[in-house]
C-alpha cells in the first residue's frame, strides 16, 4: 500500500520538476536571446568606437588662442653716434670798422671803413650724441593666435591606436 501511494507522489514530483525545468529553460533561452541582442549592439558600438579612435589619431585640431596681456617695458637705450651735419649758408656782413693808422711823423689817424659783403659757408660739422635714454612703458598686447595640432605627430596618436586595438580585442571576445 505504501508503494501505491509512493508512485503517484513520485509521479507528481517528477511532473513538478519537469515543469520547473521547462520554466527555467524558457527563462534561460529568453535571457540568452536578450544577451545575444546586447552582444550584437555592443559589438557594433565597439566597432564604431575603434574606427573613431583610428580616425582621431590622424586628425588635426584647429583653434584660436586669444591673448590679452599688458607687457611692462623698462629699458635704457644707449645712443652713441656721430652725425655729420651739413651747414651751407651765407652770412651777410654790413658794418663799419674804425681802424687806427700810425702815420709816423704825421701822427695817428683813424680810418672808417664800411664793409658790406656776405661770407659763404659750406662745411660739415660732426655732432656726437652720447646719451642713455630711459624707456618705461606698458604695451597692451591683443592677439588671436591660430593653433594647429597634428595629432598624428604627437604621442597621443600612438595611444589612440593602442586604445583602438584594445577595443577591437574586446570586441573579438564578444563573438560575431
For the stretch 30-52, pLDDT in tens is 998 887 888 778 888 888 999 99
Residue showing cell 514530483:
13
31 within domain boundaries: yes
Q: Containing domain of residue 26, as a range?
A: 2-92+120-174
For the stretch 83-139, pLDDT in tens is 898 999 998 988 888 888 888 777 888 888 888 998 899 889 898 888 898 999 999
Of the chain, the end-to-end C-alpha distance in Å amounts to 59
- Residue 14 DSSP label: H
28 within domain boundaries: yes
Number of residues that make up the chain: 176
Say what the pLDDT of residue 32 is. 86
Residue showing cell 592677439:
143
Cα separation, 52 vs 151, whole angstroms = 14
Cα separation, 81 vs 162, whole angstroms = 64
Cα separation, 49 vs 101, whole angstroms = 119
How many independent structural domains does the chain possess?
A: 1
Note if the pTM is more than 0.75. no
User: How many Cβ atoms sit within 10 Å of the Cβ of residue 151?
Assistant: 15
Say what the pLDDT of residue 176 is. 66
Say what the pLDDT of residue 134 is. 92
115 within domain boundaries: no
User: With 80 as the cut, is the pLDDT of residue 15 above it?
Assistant: yes
User: With 70 as the cut, is the pLDDT of residue 80 above it?
Assistant: yes
105 within domain boundaries: no
32 within domain boundaries: yes
Say what the pLDDT of residue 72 is. 93
100 within domain boundaries: no
Q: 147 and 63 in contact (C-beta within 8 Å)?
A: yes
Say what the pLDDT of residue 33 is. 86
Amino acid at each position: 500500500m505504501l508503494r501505491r501511494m509512493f508512485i503517484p507522489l513520485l509521479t507528481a514530483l517528477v511532473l513538478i520538476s519537469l515543469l520547473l525545468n521547462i520554466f527555467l529553460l524558457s527563462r534561460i533561452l529568453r535571457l540568452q536571446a536578450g544577451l545575444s541582442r546586447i552582444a550584437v549592439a555592443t559589438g557594433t558600438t565597439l566597432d564604431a568606437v575603434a574606427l573613431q579612435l583610428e580616425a582621431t589619431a590622424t586628425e588635426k585640431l584647429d583653434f584660436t588662442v586669444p591673448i590679452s596681456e599688458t607687457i611692462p617695458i623698462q629699458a635704457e637705450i644707449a645712443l652713441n653716434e656721430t652725425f655729420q651735419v651739413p651747414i651751407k649758408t651765407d652770412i651777410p656782413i654790413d658794418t663799419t670798422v674804425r681802424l687806427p693808422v700810425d702815420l709816423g711823423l704825421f701822427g695817428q689817424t683813424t680810418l672808417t671803413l664800411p664793409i658790406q659783403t656776405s661770407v659763404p659757408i659750406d662745411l660739415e660739422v660732426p655732432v656726437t650724441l652720447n646719451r642713455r635714454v630711459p624707456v618705461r612703458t606698458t604695451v597692451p598686447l591683443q592677439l588671436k593666435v591660430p593653433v594647429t595640432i597634428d595629432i598624428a605627430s604627437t604621442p597621443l596618436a600612438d595611444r589612440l591606436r593602442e586604445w583602438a586595438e584594445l577595443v577591437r580585442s574586446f570586441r573579438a571576445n564578444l563573438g560575431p
